[in-house]
Chains A and B, each alone.
Chain A
């Protein structure tokens, strides 16, 4: 019989709060963390929003040890992991006895450190390069730092599938438990906000330009792009029986995951089909039919093409029931957090199931008429949620979907 995967704890640091409950409450209340980012030094581009965590202080989460070896991404992940471990009841004593794993999804790793290291060497000479910064230039650095900080000696992996990395990491970790004999794996994603990635997305024309819309609104007719954010979201995944045996509090269950890649990159039909396949594979993996899904956390972030492709795919797969399944899009408030996005969506879905309240899509008064008729939630609503689907549609054709079911006994 296939092993079941329980979620026994969660940790999040985001621009809308550093606990799952605070994040969820902010989202339900329609708070946005997207603000005008002053990037006037980036050669004149204006009017772009960002979801940077303005007041992140690593010291408030990581006490008593020297923080110099950690860069911003490292600090976020180490701090987020600490919150998730605490939430799941894994103490330092337990971690000393048992090798817990870590799977981190990230699009860029520590891009700012990579660039800073390179520029310092260019400007001052290679002899002035920082050894400590070099250790953080590998994309798996944050996962390594987190393992050192929290004594995580199990399977440690880093996954990059673009902005779908967080969900990809959750699927990868799920399979380590189901097929590779692992019993406890911390999994999720993180990406920092830095001017290098901001500049890159901005020069690629992917960011929201405030025109008729002040903020990026997924599925809106006037959407022009997304707002870049940052976050870390980590979930403790455990083999069900082992979690029960140690008396863990089971918050929810990950039932299945699916993925696909749109290798055409030009053919909209294939793009839609890849999203349909990922969702269908996730449901198939969960042993569920589309009819059983009670809520969808969409990946939509205000991107013109990807939002439409996702909507068309949802209608295609859910067909008869698509008009009734409520759909939310939390990137309307938190922005596009890249590697963290899928894990933030998963965390908020668990909170939705616990609270029976689904956040609305901020600013979506009326959906884009070009999109199919779907049940887009424009405001928070009460919901009796049993099975939710989370989508992560990357900017480069990667698609991941995850099915999460409510845990035993609502809190």
Chain B
């Protein structure tokens, strides 16, 4: 077992299509609530699919207090909201921490896509003169964690890790490393993505969007449903948390990262890179495969991902794979892109503390190639000491994060 300092999760905040904040979100998740509806933020009449998982009625002004809410994009607004919820959940008093050692590490797929979409709207209408300063100050993806840092006065590192659909895991991994190296005393880590016309168009073009429902691992699954959201976890060293009397959800035990180096949009056919990431995470955490009690799957609902992910889990866990419940909350939230693995990390922390795991909903018929226990349709009470969070992205980026119940 490593002698490195222990990183713990002390606060959780999220904004999703099924609820904002830990309590509302968790209750909705356990109840199997889905956030799917016809897309509203742009016209999909020219598309063959129309389903999305947008956040309805999000009021940024409820959360953004320092910055001018109109000067920042939607991803930044969602990230700030998640950050404020996490800080409140952690009962962290900002006047009592060293702000110069408080940092933000975010993940994303698109950053602030509405800004480039507006740029393009101007371009096609021959109105580039209407592009103002806001494009450069609002668009580049690194401004999302910067806006969180500006909102809160955090002056440590502010970094964006845009590793797409695995980004949240990467952000939490990096934040944990900074804490262990004592380069920071608190870190907000997570991910955010707002609904994107570009992302929707691309996945529609790949034929990857389900027409009616997202049903990961089901025999008749027809694809994913693009969504949006944000989640932030407050991380600190265990000693720091205990000293301020914080409630500790769990420990960040370790992580594994790898690259398929195979294909830009499809995973390795034997799940080789994903399996390596799982093994690295287990090694780094000092945990044996049979100790894992729950896996939060990437589980997008596409034919390929779900099949290959199942192969990777079986290759790593062997027969033990059949004993580990593995569920996909994308069955309810859709694919929130850069926020996905951050929201799923929060779910792992909650699973550990609540002894309850969320279901994979919309599951009706078993696929012979996906024959694990996906916790179909109904949430389940389950003692979770070790939870694993897997996430995979375009470019072959694979990630596994392991959370462990606090050592007594």
- Residue of B104, B121, B123, B136 contacting most chain A CB atoms (<10 Å): B136
Scan A76-96; emit 1 where CB is below 8 A from any B CB, else 0: 000000000000000000000
In the complex, how many angstroms separate the beta carbon of B320 from the nearest chain A beta carbon? 25
Q: Which of B196-204, B289-297, B382-390 is near enough to bind chain A? A: B196-204
The residues of A that contact B201 with a CB separation of less than 8 Å are: 117-118, 121, 126, 129, 134
- Residue of A117, A147, A154 contacting most chain B CB atoms (<10 Å): A147
The residues of A that contact B131 with a CB separation of less than 8 Å are: 199-200, 203
Q: Is B120 a contact of A115 with CB atoms below 8 Å?
A: yes
Q: Is A261 a contact of B142 with CB atoms below 8 Å?
A: no
* Residue A143 lies at the interface, judged by CB distance under 8 Å to chain B: yes
The residues of B that contact A362 with a CB separation of less than 8 Å are: none
CA distance A17 to B154 in the complex (A): 40
Query: With contacts A134-B205, A137-B202 known, is A261 near B397, CB below 8 A?
Result: no
Q: Is B259 a contact of A199 with CB atoms below 8 Å?
A: no
* Residue B38 lies at the interface, judged by CB distance under 8 Å to chain A: no
* Residue B265 lies at the interface, judged by CB distance under 8 Å to chain A: yes
Q: Is B259 a contact of A117 with CB atoms below 8 Å?
A: no
The residues of A that contact B395 with a CB separation of less than 8 Å are: 138, 140-141, 143-145, 147, 156
Q: Is A200 a contact of B120 with CB atoms below 8 Å?
A: no
Q: Which of A26-34, A105-113, A235-243 is near enough to bind chain B? A: A105-113
Residues of B246-265 whose CB lies within 8 A of A: 257-265
Q: Is B202 a contact of A200 with CB atoms below 8 Å?
A: no
Q: Is A144 a contact of B128 with CB atoms below 8 Å?
A: no
Q: Which of B174-182, B214-222, B357-365 is near enough to bind chain A? A: B174-182
Interface of A is mostly: mixed
Query: With contacts A138-B109, A151-B261 known, is A161 near B156, CB below 8 A?
Result: no
Interface residues on A, range: 35 or more
Q: Is A160 a contact of B140 with CB atoms below 8 Å?
A: yes
Scan B112-131; emit 1 where CB is below 8 A from any A CB, else 0: 00001101110110001101
* Residue B111 lies at the interface, judged by CB distance under 8 Å to chain A: yes
CA distance A114 to B273 in the complex (A): 27
Query: With contacts A168-B159, A200-B135 known, is A139 near B258, CB below 8 A?
Result: no
Q: A139-B109, A156-B257 are in contact. List 9 more A-B contacts (CB 8 A).
A: A69-B264, A114-B116, A123-B124, A129-B202, A140-B164, A153-B258, A203-B133, A261-B154, A397-B149
Q: What are the 6 tightest A-B residue pairs by CB atom distance, in nearest-first order?
A: A144-B395, A134-B202, A156-B259, A139-B162, A261-B158, A135-B264
Binding site for B on A (CB under 8 A): 42-43, 69, 99, 101-102, 107-109, 111, 114-115, 117-119, 121-123, 125-127, 129-131, 134-141, 143-145, 147-148, 150-162, 165, 168, 172, 175, 178-181, 196-197, 199-201, 203-206, 259-265, 270, 274, 277, 281, 394-398
